[in-house]
Amino acid sequence: MKKNFELIQIHPEEKVKIPHLTERYFFRDDEKEYCYRLQTHIRYMRRNKLKSMNLWLAKREINTPYLYCKYFRYFIYKKDNNCGEGCLLGYKPKNEKNGGCIHRGFAYERTDICFTLKIK
């Protein structure tokens, strides 16, 4: 399969080896809350007729008081007990009995590693 994009690290100056870049999440310069995989950014660029765009590598936040619900597509606080049996609409346990929901996602934060994405 031919690569239809080029990803160039611009910050920090010292190159960082990051495995599986196409599976990682990135923030756009103008988007501080939501991050997406590379293919989503490429589709966005094509729809908006952009040739290049800066992306910031995202990393998963650890020990946060909230989580992301993929079913409802928003963040919820863990202490409010809105995830799990407290959720009347979208709760579906991974083991089909009880416990962690299949819709539970993670929160991400922007790192200081920046790339320029160029599409061909």
Instruction: List 9's β-bridge partners, or say none.
Output: 115
79 backbone dihedrals φ, ψ, rounded to 5°? -70, -20
- Supply angle C-alpha 34, 51, 30, rounded to 5: 25
pLDDT of residue 1: 47
Average pLDDT taken over every residue of the chain? 86
Domain boundaries of the chain, sorted by first residue: 5-11+18-119
Note the pLDDT tens digit of each residue in 34-56.
Answer: 899 999 999 999 999 999 999 99
Band (113; pLDDT cuts 50, 70, 90):
very high
* Rounded-to-integer distance, Cα 102 and Cα 71, Å: 9
pLDDT at 16 over 90: no
Q: What is the DSSP letter of 45?
A: H
The Cα-based distances of 19 to 16, 23, 24, 61, 108 in angstroms read 10, 9, 9, 19, 18
Note the pLDDT tens digit of each residue in 50-76.
Answer: 999 999 999 999 888 888 888 888 888
Band (84; pLDDT cuts 50, 70, 90):
low
Find all residues with CB under 8 Å of 78, minimum gap 6, and list them: 65, 66, 67
pTM score over 0.85:
no
User: Which of 2-11, 17-26, 83-92 has the weakest average pLDDT?
Assistant: 83-92
